[in-house]
Amino acid sequence: MREWLNVATEYSVTVINILALIIIVAGTLEAFVGALWAMLTRRGGHERRDIWLRQARWLVAGLTFQLAADVLETAVSTSWDTVGRIAAVAAIRTFLNFFLERDLTDIRQMQRETGDK
């Protein structure tokens, strides 16, 4: 039973990391195309800011998926060294996620106060 749980968890971690990769790549491609278009058409600051806000949302989603994979991975870790490595990576991801979320919240609040979309 334990062996089956380990195999299922390892596959789940791989699938979740693939999903995170897809999310982050999709957001980055969208931001790249949007930024290129904004530079070529000389869009204003609001359009450029919206491009980076959308990418930040994609990154938050991707980091959340990666954190989920980290949590699962700790369930089948057999050594403290592995758990420590996973914990360090999870801490970095949590740190990045926290500050991205805080920046998004600050910008949303500023938009509400100034009446932007």
Q: Which residue has the higher pLDDT, 24 or 93?
A: 24
pLDDT at 117 > cutoff 60: no
Nearest Cα residue to 58 out of 93, 28, 101: 28
pLDDT at 74 > cutoff 90: no
Alpha-helical regions (H) of the chain: 2-41, 45-75, 80-114
Q: What is the mean pLDDT of the chain?
A: 87
Q: State both tokens at 1.
A: 């039973």
User: Can you tell me the distance from the alpha carbon of 17 to that of 85, in angstroms, rounded to the nearest whole number?
Assistant: 16
Does the global pTM surpass 0.85?
Answer: no
Q: State both tokens at 2.
A: 């334990």
Burial 29-53 (b: 16+ CB within 10 A, else e): eebeebbeebeeeeeeeeeeebbeb
User: Can you tell me the distance from the alpha carbon of 68 to that of 48, in angstroms, rounded to the nearest whole number?
Assistant: 31
pLDDT at 23 > cutoff 90: yes
pLDDT digits (tens, 9 = 90+) for 1-11: 788 888 999 99
Question: Contact 41/24 with Cβ under 8 angstroms?
Answer: no
Cα distances (Å, whole numbers) of residue 44 to 27, 47, 60, 106: 21, 6, 25, 20
